Structure 1
Amino acid sequence: MLLRLSILGALALAARKGFLNSRNLQLREVEIGLRHLPSSFDGLRIGQITDIHAGPLVPREFIREGVDLIMDENPDLIVLTGDFMNGNRGILRPNNGSFKQHHYDYCIDELARLSAPLGVFGVLGNHDFWSGKKLACAIVEDLNSVGIRILRNQSIPLEDHGQQLYLVGVDDYWEDSYDLSLATRGIPKDTCRILLSHNPDVNEDISTLKERIDLVISGHTHGGQVVLPVVGFPYLLSPFGQKYRSGIVRDGQRVSYISCGLGAYLAPIRLNCPPDVSILTLYRQREDS
């Protein structure tokens, strides 16, 4: 009996700690060197918000805090890498009540406050598609209406002092509509390319297709969301294990950055893996470094 009570007490303390951690939003700042970065973009600062999962687990105030953290940094460019909504699939049917209209409305309203000199861009995540096709299309339309362009297998040039880099965005890697080749079509061969992909596993496809991408910006993993002592990260939805869990991952000259994200899934709990929004500062890397 005493052992059972001790176990229950430990679980209760862990759950409480996990809930408190899920509200301990961090600003993560990283520097990334890219060899093909044009000189006029040296020092480019990119703000990233990902995996909001708007719904009953993520209150409006928490989304507002993430937006405020990014806007206080005055980035040159802002990117949103999917899972705006908390839609479900499989044993949980789409539109099963995991979020309501007011969750959707306040998410759009808070994101509408984002602005940056080079613009605000985004891509959809798996939970956005799992919300149902109608709602996924509404997300695109409503974000576009407040100045946030969602890239669906598309690219757009960003210009500064006569130099260009291309921002590329793809539909979620798990969706049939995902098409990296279409997204990169027509981009000049030697131009710097920054890819927005909700799922970092896209890196494996980049290698298979032999596409040249300089930087991949992703979310999806939540950094594991729950990190246990000794055990570590018990589960990631990736066939590549811990390879793309979080932070900076290098594959030859390609660099990936994976944010732990703002929200949570299934339960408002994070253990040893706090939520974050990110500021990426890019610099031009020398050929011999």
Structure 2
Amino acid sequence: MRWLIPILIYLLIELYAYQAIRTIAKNQWIQLSYIVISILILGYVIYVFANYDRSVGPTKYTLRASGMIMLTVVPKIVLVLFMFGEDIIRVIVAIYRYIIPSTGENEMGYFPGRRKFLSQLALGVASIPFAGLLYGIVKGKYNFKVLKHVLYFDDLPSAFDGFRLTQISDIHSGSFDDADKIEYAIDLINEQDTDMLLFTGDIVNTVASEMDDWIDTFNRIKEYKYGKYSVLGNHDYGEYVTWESQEEKENNFQAIKDIHTKINFNLLLNDSDFIEKDGQRIAIVGVENWGHNFKKAGDLEKASQKINKEDFKILMSHDPSHWEYEVKEHEDHFHLTLSGHTHGFQFGIEIPGFMRWSPVQYVYKQWAGMYNEMGRFLNVNRGFGFHAFPGRVGIWPEITVIELRKGKEEA
């Protein structure tokens, strides 16, 4: 029964999409081929999700099924908007003609030629999201971008003027399907030649074993003079699958924490550390996941026990909602917070200096890029990997490079 409503909606979409195909393509073999392909896709998707194993969690099969849903349904929704809109106009005209009898002049009726033109136009417009989604699945998910920011702070210790750090987030190793592309991304990280690396959570989708094939790859990340630090994300707690016992869940959680040691990441669990340079220091603070709508394991007070209010602080917190609800107005003044989590929804439009939009902005106030309120900065990394949908459209995987400067930004 839980599939009934989605299937009915899908069938309604298919009905209108088929009308467009039938209007343009009169060849019955083309129409039949369309029907058969649509049925096969629907059958495959239903089969995959009907057999979803809660003890295993997301797999490459569920990723593939999600991609097929997006690739076929979104363009068809565009068709529906055109065809349904035309039907509404026809109904309005019919009602108008019923209420006001026709005089025989300037009648508006049903014209097959207009229907065919509208179908052709709808297919042309629908091809745009189809092409975008196809690119996102084939190429976009590994279209890594290096984004650079320069931030100015009056109270930055002078020894750290020009200090550069690399941030990555949301590896989601269980989704990877191209070793060469991941190797390329590791090379890209190493090429930035910064002073330290900070990883802000979600190393796997669900289970620790997802990272087994990638340990050697991530061990290729070079050693940094001031270290490699990390925190956990919401997916690292194993809470999106069903475990046979609490012990099994706890063993998986420990194995996920052990991954960080295996790739030489210093995992901060509600803790902090200092890095020193020329007799001066800054604090690196790492909290466990704290999300307004997700797990709240992060303890900012516990993580800050070793530091003083006057220390310059970089906070790693996976979910950007933590900054909005607890961090940005905290009396201890966390200068820079690094987050991830949103992936920018892996779908959106970003044209620098012109527009930036993604559906995720209706859920998260801070969803991608750098934010500044009251001299306190938040960077929301768009993520290294991908999850749920096996692609990225307009929101590309990100490697962030941030340079700290002392003083005020020049006008």
**Fold equivalence (TM over 0.5):** yes
Task: Name the CA distance, whole Å, in 2 between partners of 1:27 and 1:220.
Answer: 18
Q: Is residue 214 of structure 1 aligned with residue 335 of structure 2? A: yes
Contact 1:58-1:264 at 8 Å conserved across structures: no
User: Does the residue aligned with 2:390 lie in a helix, a strand or coil?
Assistant: coil
Q: Is residue 13 of structure 1 aligned with residue 131 of structure 2? A: yes
Q: Is residue 105 of structure 1 aligned with residue 212 of structure 2? A: yes
Contact 1:49-1:262 at 8 Å conserved across structures: yes
Task: Name the CA distance, whole Å, in 2 between partners of 1:176 and 1:228.
Answer: 31
Task: Name the CA distance, whole Å, in 2 between partners of 1:231 and 1:54.
Answer: 28
Task: Name the CA distance, whole Å, in 2 between partners of 1:63 and 1:271.
Answer: 18
Give the corresponding residue for 1:125: 233
Task: Name the CA distance, whole Å, in 2 between partners of 1:223 and 1:190.
Answer: 33
Moved more, 43-52 or 141-150: 141-150
Greater share of strand residues, 1 or 2? 1
- Cα deviation for residue 112 of structure 1 reads 1.8
- Cα deviation for residue 205 of structure 1 reads 0.6
Task: Name the CA distance, whole Å, in 1 between partners of 2:290 and 2:181.
Answer: 27
Counterpart residue identity of residue 134, structure 2: R
User: Any gaps of 5 or more consecutive residues in structure 2?
Assistant: 1-19, 22-118, 240-248
1:1-289 mapped onto 2 (5 Å cutoff): 1-2=20-21, 3=119, 9-19=127-137, 20-87=139-206, 101=209, 103-114=210-221, 115-130=223-238, 132-174=249-291, 175-203=295-323, 204-207=325-328, 209-227=330-348, 232-236=357-361, 238=363, 241=364, 243-286=365-408
Over 3 Å counting, the alpha-carbon distance change for 1:135 and 1:107 in structure 2 is: farther
Q: Give the TM-score taking structure 1 as reference length.
A: 0.85
Task: Name the CA distance, whole Å, in 1 between partners of 2:162 and 2:356.
Answer: 39
Over 3 Å counting, the alpha-carbon distance change for 1:288 and 1:50 in structure 2 is: closer
Deviation beyond 6 Å, 4+ runs, structure 1: none
Q: Give the TM-score taking structure 2 as reference length.
A: 0.61
User: Any gaps of 5 or more consecutive residues in structure 1?
Assistant: 88-94
Counterpart residue identity of residue 281, structure 1: E
Contact 1:124-1:171 at 8 Å conserved across structures: yes
Contact 2:344-2:382 at 8 Å conserved across structures: yes
- Cα deviation for residue 245 of structure 1 reads 1.3
Contact 2:309-2:332 at 8 Å conserved across structures: no
Over 3 Å counting, the alpha-carbon distance change for 1:140 and 1:81 in structure 2 is: same
Larger Rg: 2
- Cα deviation for residue 9 of structure 1 reads 4.3
Task: Name the CA distance, whole Å, in 2 between partners of 1:80 and 1:107.
Answer: 16
Contact 2:342-2:360 at 8 Å conserved across structures: no
Task: Name the CA distance, whole Å, in 2 between partners of 1:170 and 1:139.
Answer: 16
- Aligned residues: CA RMSD: 2.6
User: Does the residue aligned with 1:235 lie in a helix, a strand or coil?
Assistant: helix
Over 3 Å counting, the alpha-carbon distance change for 1:273 and 1:231 in structure 2 is: closer
Q: What percentage of aligned pairs have identical amino acids?
A: 28
